[in-house]
Amino acid sequence: MLSAAQAEAHKQSSLSNGGKLSIEIKNGKDLCVRDKSMFSKGSSDPYIKIMLGGSRKVGTTKVIKKSLNPIWNESFQIEVGGKDKPFVVLEIFDKDMLSSDDPMGIITISLTDLVHGQVIDKNFKVEKCTGANDASGTVHIVAMFDPRVSTSLQSGATVPLESKRVKIGLGWDYVGEKRSTKATASAVSSKLIDLDASAVVFDKRGSNIETIYFDNLVSKRSGAGAIVHLGDSRDGEGVFGGDDESIVFDTSRLSQEVHSSY
């Protein structure tokens, strides 16, 4: 059994490469009043901003008019980078047409609670925030996080796969010889290099089934959409220091005749 420190370290390593966050915002209940009325208890026009790391907006729900029990039923797929702070803040606002929108409270969800494939499905209590000391009610949210796991491969090595969906990336950058320039004492000369990532698929007899590369991006005979090339890079400058070409494998969709791929 892992110690508390080991478990926390494992959680942090699972977040270091980012991943995909799925959030479904279902409905709210007993939210606070922002539009008061002489003839009723008042109401609000609530909507929710999804803030990754508490600062970067990655989604917004629709506005539900005149309701303290709004029903959204909206889903969001959010790409989380390795450098993003591992939490999301749901900021609830009342929509105003003639003035700035009024805060109604916040909900914070930590991604560290989701790294082992857990699905959170519960009513979150709306917490107080600046401008919303009277925050109240709950919001029903379903959330899950699929971490992106990186594995460094070496020639001849085998790596067990923990997921049926795997992305293999090829990244390169030309490092030239140092040369003197007027602007700096030395600089690195640049040169464009075109490398190509490809997947060659074989059956049990060793016969080539098909090859997935820049001119054949999506597999057919190997299983429709089981292998997808994400596009050609001709200079290695697509993502400096990262993957310039990538191929995604979904092993659950591979044809039964597929034995291996290189």
Cα 169 to Cα 95, 116, 181: the distances in Å are 44, 24, 34
Domain boundary among 147, 172, 191: 147
Residue 236 clears pLDDT 90, i.e. is over it: no
Confidence of residue 51 (pLDDT cuts 50, 70, 90): very high
Statement to judge: residues 168 and 131 lie in one domain:
no
Which pLDDT value is given to residue 155? Answer: 75
The partner residues of 241 in beta bridges, in order of sequence, read: none
* CATH number of the domain to which 35 belongs: 2.60.40.150
Mean pLDDT calculated for residue range 212-218: 91
Which pLDDT value is given to residue 44? Answer: 96
Statement to judge: residues 57 and 184 lie in one domain:
no
* CATH number of the domain to which 188 belongs: 2.60.60.30
Q: Is the dihedral of CA 36, 40, 41, 47 positive or negative?
A: negative
Can you read off the two tokens belonging to residue 163?
Answer: 């997921």
Which pLDDT value is given to residue 242? Answer: 59
Mean pLDDT calculated for residue range 116-139: 92
Which pLDDT value is given to residue 188? Answer: 45
Total structural domains within the chain: 2
Statement to judge: residues 76 and 206 lie in one domain:
no
Count how many Cα atoms sit within 13 Å of the Cα of residue 221 in the half-sphere of its side chain.
Answer: 14
Domain boundary among 132, 147, 162: 147
Statement to judge: residues 196 and 83 lie in one domain:
no
Domain boundary among 147, 181, 204: 147
Statement to judge: residues 175 and 125 lie in one domain:
no
Statement to judge: residues 113 and 183 lie in one domain:
no
Residue 65 clears pLDDT 60, i.e. is over it: yes
Confidence of residue 210 (pLDDT cuts 50, 70, 90): very high
The partner residues of 49 in beta bridges, in order of sequence, read: 60, 91
CA 204, distance to chain mean position in Å, is: 36
Q: DSSP alpha helices (H): ranges in the chain? A: 4-15
Mean pLDDT calculated for residue range 153-180: 70
Statement to judge: residues 32 and 81 lie in one domain:
yes
pTM (whole model) above 0.75: no
Token pair 């074989």 is at which residue?
202
Cβ(214)–Cβ(229) below 8 Å? yes
Mean pLDDT calculated for residue range 86-111: 94
Domain span at residue 246?
151-262
Statement to judge: residues 211 and 139 lie in one domain:
no
Statement to judge: residues 174 and 90 lie in one domain:
no
Confidence of residue 81 (pLDDT cuts 50, 70, 90): confident
Statement to judge: residues 155 and 260 lie in one domain:
yes
Statement to judge: residues 16 and 120 lie in one domain:
yes
Which pLDDT value is given to residue 230? Answer: 85
Mean pLDDT calculated for residue range 173-195: 58
Statement to judge: residues 136 and 163 lie in one domain:
no
**Cβ neighbours, 10 Å, residue 105:** 25
CA 134, distance to chain mean position in Å, is: 33
